[in-house]
């Protein structure tokens, strides 16, 4: 039973994985690959818009920046909310759950690029697990 579940999980990971990997028995169509790419583009846009918007409040309240720094942050949060509506998912909750993995990955990119702190191996391992989980949530067969 456990071996069967393991093989099913591997098959699903091959199918979902990066969205481009396919096997002869379960190919990803060109249309499916485009849909997957579109979803990841909107997830990434949403993540960076959310992080930038929230960071504007962090800068104001924690770093002592002037209060007007939240104005572009609020616009960024509007972009975040709009981008999430562009995800191809029948249910908002499922789209938001899968978005969490992209948010985590984007947060580590922000940590590295904006805050100049390199993610460590535990950050990388954690985000890899999250990305696989997000892919399974959004693109698993139903």
Among 23, 43, 100, residue whose Cα is nearest residue 10: 23
Q: Which residues of the chain have pLDDT under 50?
A: 1-6, 17-26
For residues 55 and 114, what is the distance between their CA atoms, to the nearest angstrom?
Answer: 10
For residues 55 and 62, what is the distance between their CA atoms, to the nearest angstrom?
Answer: 10
Per-residue model confidence (pLDDT) at position 120: 95
Per-residue model confidence (pLDDT) at position 39: 84
Among 68, 100, 72, residue whose Cα is nearest residue 84: 100
CA 9 to chain centroid: 20
- Reduced to 3 states (helix: H, G, I; strand: E, B; else coil), residue 26 is coil
Per-residue model confidence (pLDDT) at position 2: 40
Per-residue model confidence (pLDDT) at position 4: 46
Per-residue model confidence (pLDDT) at position 68: 97
Among 131, 130, 107, 129, residue whose Cα is nearest residue 119: 107
Per-residue model confidence (pLDDT) at position 136: 86
Residues 6 or more apart whose Cβ sits within 8 Å of residue 111: 117, 119, 123
């Amino acid at each position: 039973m456990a071996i069967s579940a393991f093989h099913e999980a591997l098959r699903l990971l091959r199918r979902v994985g990066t969205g481009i990997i396919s096997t002869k028995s379960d190919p990803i169509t060109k249309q499916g690959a485009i849909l997957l790419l579109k979803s990841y583009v909107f997830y990434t846009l949403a993540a960076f818009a959310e992080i930038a918007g929230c960071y504007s409040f962090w800068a104001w309240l924690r770093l002592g920046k002037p209060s007007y720094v939240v104005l572009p942050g609020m616009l960024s949060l509007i972009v975040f909310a709009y981008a999430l509506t562009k995800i191809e998912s029948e249910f908002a909750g499922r789209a938001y759950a899968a978005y969490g993995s992209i948010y985590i990955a984007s947060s580590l990119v922000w940590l590295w690029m904006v805050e100049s702190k390199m993610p460590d191996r535990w950050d990388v391992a954690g985000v890899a697990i999250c990305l696989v989980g997000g892919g399974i949530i959004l693109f698993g067969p139903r």
